[in-house]
Amino acid sequence: AQSVSQHNHHVILSEAASLELGCNYSYGGTVNLFWYVQYPGQHLQLLLKYFSGDPLVKGIKGFEAEFIKSKFSFNLRKPSVQWSDTAEYFCAVGPTDKLIFGTGTRLQVFP
């Protein structure tokens, strides 16, 4: 069955630290990959997406993600986090129109 795994459930960082959130999926065909973010009290927003082409995708607010097909991974990265990055991050896979989401990673950034 298709699934998405986010192994980091809760990440705590200090400002300026580097961030990498893991995302692995299980699906053998062509996939479309997404990272969504949910800031406290706000609704889900698209952070970045990959459909095809360059496997390194840049999104908003300095985030980027790299699609590694051989590893079935789409990890999210940011070189230097800010307090305002405190949020919950969801990886999603869309082999079809229905998105399959991971369980989310809660990121807390302390000043």
Nearer residue to another protein within complex by CB, 91 or 109: 91
Q: Which of 29, 54, 69, 97 binds another protein (CB under 8 A)?
A: 97
Quick one: 17 or 38, whose CB is closer to another protein? Answer: 38
Residues 47-66 that bind another protein (CB under 8 A): 49, 51-52
| Closest separation in Å from C-beta 39 to another protein | 12
Of the residues 76, 78, 102, 107, which one makes contact with another protein according to CB under 8 A? 102
**Cα within 13 Å of Cα(77), Cβ side:** 12
CB-wise, 3 or 82, nearer to another protein? 3
- Site for another protein contains 90 (CB under 8 A): yes
Shortest distance (Å) from residue 16 CB to another protein: 29
Q: DSSP readout, the chain?
A: --EEE---SEEEEETT--EEE--EEE-SS---EEEEEE-TTS--EEEEEE-SS-SEEE-GGG-EEEEEGGGTEEEEEESS--GGG-EEEEEEE-SSSS-EE---EEEEEE-
| Residue number, 76 or 100, with CB nearest to another protein | 100
End-to-end CA distance of the chain: 41
